[in-house]
Amino acid sequence: MTDRPVIVLGVGGHAAVVFDLLHIVGKTVKGALVRIGAGLESPLSNLAVLGDDSALSEYMPVDVNIANGIGATRNTEARRSAFSNAQALGFDFPALVHPSAIVAENVELGPGVQVMAGAIIQTGARIKANTIVNTGAQIDHDCLVGPHCHISPGAVLSGAIVIEANVIIGTGARLIQEVKVGADSHVGAGATVTGHIPKCSVVRAPQSTVRPASERSK
C-alpha cells in the first residue's frame, strides 16, 4: 500500500473495523464518505465525514487511496457499487491485511481485498477484488474466491474450493474440499456444504438445504 492518505467509503460497523485496521498498519485516514442520501454523521468521533459519494470527484486518484468500509451481510450490491464507481474514477483500492492474520507467501490478493484479524489464507489461494476475509476465517490451499465476496467470521473453506462472484459465506459455515459455490449465492451461518451449489442459491443450516435466491429475505 502506498503512503497516500486513505478515504473510507461508509461509516457503519464494517467501516469502523476497516478504520481500526488502517490505524494499526500506520495509514493516515483522511476521512469517510457516506452513501448519497445518508446523514453526514459518523458514529466514530475520530473519523471525519467528508461528504457523500459525490464528494469523491473533489479528490484526485494520485492523492488518495480508497478503502471500502461497506459491509456485505445480506447481499453484496452496495459494496460492489461503491467499489466499481470509485475504481471507474481511477482510484486505487490496495489490499489490507491485519498484522495478526496469517497469509502464505504464494497467495494472490486482488485490489481492495481485506483480510481481518486472525484470518488464515494458505498457499496457492487466490482472492479476487473487493472480497472480505473476515475475522478468524480460514481459507485453505488452492482455493479460488471470486470478486465481491464476503467470507464471514469463523467460516472455513477446505482445499481447492471455488467460490464464484458476489457470494456470501456466513459466520461459522464449513465447506469441504473441492466444492464449488455458484455466483450470487448465500451460504448461511453454521451451514455445512458437502456438494456443489448452483448459482443464485441459498443454503441454510442445519440441514444445509438449497433454496432459490428469491427466498433470501424470508
The model's pLDDT over 119-163, given as tens digits with 9 standing for 90+, comes to 999 999 999 999 999 999 999 999 999 999 999 999 999 999 999
Q: Is residue 213 part of a domain?
A: no
Burial 18-37 (b: 16+ CB within 10 A, else e): bbebbeeeebebbbbbbeee
Q: Are residue 109 and residue 132 in the same domain, yes or no?
A: yes
For the stretch 44-87, pLDDT in tens is: 667 788 888 889 999 999 999 999 999 998 889 999 999 999 99
pTM (2 decimals)? 0.91
Catalytic-labelled residue, pool 23, 98, 141, 150: 141
- In which domain, by residue range, is 113 found? 96-199
- Strand partners for 126: 108, 144
**Predicted local distance difference test score (pLDDT) of residue 28:** 94
- DSSP track, 2-21: -SS-EEEE--SHHHHHHHHH
Residue 144's closest CA among 116, 99, 113, 117? 113
- Rounded to whole angstroms, the Cα distance separating 35 from 26 reads 26
For residue 137, what is its C-alpha cell? 476465517
For the stretch 17-54, pLDDT in tens is: 999 999 999 999 999 998 765 555 666 667 788 888 88
Q: Is residue 10 part of a domain?
A: yes
Residue 114's closest CA among 2, 38, 12, 20? 20
Peptide bond into 43 cis (omega under 30): no
Q: Are residue 108 and residue 79 in the same domain, yes or no?
A: no
CATH for 112 = 2.160.10.10
Q: Is 23 a catalytic residue?
A: no
